[in-house]
Amino acid sequence: MGEKPYRKGKELSVEDKQIIDLYWVRSETAISETANRYGRYCHSIAFNILHSHEDSEECVNDTFFHAWKTMPPQRPNKLSAFLGTITRNLSLNKWEQYSTEKRGLGQVPLALEELQDCIPALENVEQVADDLTLTEILNHFLSTLPKDRRKIFMRRYWYMCSIKEIAKGYSMSESKVKMSLLRSRNELKQLLEKEGFNL
């Protein structure tokens, strides 16, 4: 059986291709088309981190500007994830600039607290992982998780969705979401320790 062209994620949708083409021909409608299609998506990512509509809007606009600067030469395979990654990075950077008081809002402090579970114990550490290696380990870790648990993990620590929101999104109880996250965090910790990495 050949490559299946209909599979979700195997191929860009027509609309994404058209939008990317607009960037490549330097048409300014690229921005408005992107805003129409992915404005809400990017805004929700920013808002989960920043907890401010005004700042989120700024990050989303910066995302489109960044996309304009990087396409071409870039031609992303998944436009939504490409834009979302930019928004997430910009939002986390902005979050770091917040005052301590404002930084307490949103899901980031909670997510960070939870991620402390994943930090390997010092006695097992042999080397400090560089960023590239760390991403590789995380990719490997995600590939080993069952799909449902992976989606919950990504919703929490990539999209910074609240536990309540995830529970609602996947029609499960909040305690089940928490349990799933706990198991995933423990497995990540074990993997990091097994690989002998410090962070």
Span from 18-26, 60-68, 159-167, 175-183 in contact with another protein (CB under 8 A) = 159-167
Cα(61)–Cα(55) distance, rounded to whole angstroms? Answer: 10
Q: Under the criterion CB under 8 A, does residue 158 sit at the interface with another protein?
A: yes
Find all residues with CB under 8 Å of 10, minimum gap 6, and list them: 3, 4
How many residues are present in the chain?
199
Rounded to a whole number of angstroms, the minimum distance from the CB of residue 1 to another protein is 5
* Site size for another protein (CB under 8 A): 55
Q: Under the criterion CB under 8 A, does residue 82 sit at the interface with another protein?
A: yes
How distant, in Å, are the alpha carbons of 121, 154, 155, 159 from that of 131?
19, 19, 22, 20
Span from 22-30, 53-61, 64-72, 155-163 in contact with another protein (CB under 8 A) = 155-163
Of the candidate residues 142, 172, 179, 191, the single one contacting another protein (CB under 8 A): 142
Q: Which is nearer to another protein, 28 or 136 (CB)?
A: 136
**Which string of x and - marks every residue 28-47 that binds another protein (by CB under 8 A)?**
------------xx--x---
Q: Which of 160, 188, 164 is nearest to 178 (CA)?
A: 164
Q: Under the criterion CB under 8 A, does residue 25 sit at the interface with another protein?
A: no
Cα 120 from chain centre: 22
Q: Under the criterion CB under 8 A, does residue 54 sit at the interface with another protein?
A: no
Phi/psi zone of residue 113: left (φ > 0), alpha (ψ -120 to 50 degrees), beta? Answer: alpha
